[in-house]
Amino acid sequence: MRKNRLRFWCSFRGNRKRRGFDKFSQDLGRFTNRPNLIIDTACQQRRLVGISSQSTIRLPWIMGRRLTIFYLIGYFDLVEDVLNSGFASPEPAPESADENVREQGESPGAMRAMILAGGDAARLRPLTVYTPNPLVPIANQPLLKYQIEILKRAGFRELTLVLGYHSNKIEDVIGDGREQKMIIRYQEQSSSQGTAGAFRSAMGNADEPAVVIYGDILTDLRLDRMIAFHREKGSLLTIGSVTVDNPSNFGVVEAAADGRIISFIEKPEDLNLPRQTINAGIYVIEPEVLKMIPSGEKYSFEEQLFPALIESGKPVFSFDWTGYWNHLGNVRSYLDANLDLLAGRLKRLTSDTQLLPPASGIDQAENGEPGFAVDQLSRIDAGCTIKPGAEIINSVIGPGCFIEERAQIRDSVLLTGVRVGKAAEIRHSFIGKSSIIGRNTRVTDAIFGDKTSLADYSTS
């Protein structure tokens, strides 16, 4: 025991600045014969707590946000006793809805999952002025939760989120993943890293393959099928691909009949290109690829890595997906995503989960008064107030909205705290947070940012 404690002390002392707490977790797990051990210091309790199913040990923060190493070494005997006594030994995870909806396909095995969401989401403004891209609500649920769902359905139980813009807000909403029944870790992305550079930094010295998803994609893609395809082809890197009418804003993928990619052109200049297969922003990547990405430099998947791999003759394949896919590149595509979900185009993700609440009906708004009408497609947050005579058709109404008498809302999305005046009409529009739509206004095909105010009897 003394030898193990000394080896642990030396290892943590040598690595605490360079690799931080992940390395500490690995060391403690190795010395206690628990290779999957996770050390979590988010707990505020002043005692050691064992959490079942994930072999987690929680330790309190000491001296503000710095752990006292002597405190940890003092606990080392207790940690080993706890682990060996079974107090923190893993138990079978309770059966849950999440386990029941796992799709019967290829298991990810020893494979990492990563969502790259470090951009500033400028293309989605005004929606993302104060809200990071992963948190934009789709039917009153953050986009990120839909992405987590497709990972869970493929069997993933751990996830790394690579963040930049408003990263603290994302951590506050998603937390450590307990609600999603996943282990979620966070890593900050520098704007100077590029997509491949951020991936390289997050992977560190890992030697397992990884699934990468871009943070602005809404899809029901079957990752289990994509992983099986990747393994069957012996691919070094597999790019998820979809077919679109206008490929000018995407990377165009040209592949042979067996799926092997012949060429990749990022955002072609020819704006009159016909319907093409494009990069869907989802990748399966073997660890050998890490060696081809320079460390500490800005490096792009699309503009540098993919062309280099294809030119060198490496096995790079395209996995075609014919299901739902939407790149949230502007507010119009965001509005479409909400309406698509209401129309049932993502039933595979929402039919047996809590992502999409039950159909609204007349009881959905807790402050609703008799006499208003809501169809069975709309989704209305329970904290809304809806007055008599109001009509809501095929729309999403966020928390805290106030809909006055005889207002009509159709094919639209209203975010938190919007007030709609008497007899106002809103059609196929997006209304940002805390906006005020005056009485008898007419709003059609409009996009309004947060805190917009429209005077009574106006038209937009």
Give the residue-averaged pLDDT of 231-256.
90
As its CATH architecture, domain 373-454 has 3 Solenoid (2.160)
Whole-number Å distance between alpha carbons of 55 and 51: 6
Task: Flag whether pLDDT at 51 surpasses 60.
Answer: no
Distances (CA, A) of 353 to 103, 312, 342, 348, 349: 13, 44, 15, 10, 7
User: Which among 291, 281, 366 has a CA at the least distance from the CA of 326?
Assistant: 281
Q: Is 113 helix (H, G, I), strand (E, B) or coil?
A: strand
The pLDDT score that the predictor gives to residue 242 is 95
Mean pLDDT of the chain: 76
Q: Say whether pTM exceeds 0.85.
A: no
Are 189 and 196 in contact by the 8 Å Cβ rule? The answer is no
Highest-confidence segment of 122-126, 379-383, 442-446: 442-446
The pLDDT score that the predictor gives to residue 176 is 80
Residue 37 amino acid letter: L
Q: Check if 97-342 and 373-454 are the same fold.
A: no
As its CATH architecture, domain 97-342 has Alpha-Beta Complex (3.90)
Are 48 and 59 in contact by the 8 Å Cβ rule? The answer is yes
- Of 269-273, 371-375, 451-455, least confident by mean pLDDT is 269-273
User: Which of the pair, 166 or 137, is modelled with greater confidence?
Assistant: 137
Q: Is 240 helix (H, G, I), strand (E, B) or coil?
A: strand
Domain map (residue ranges) of the chain: 2-85, 97-342, 373-454
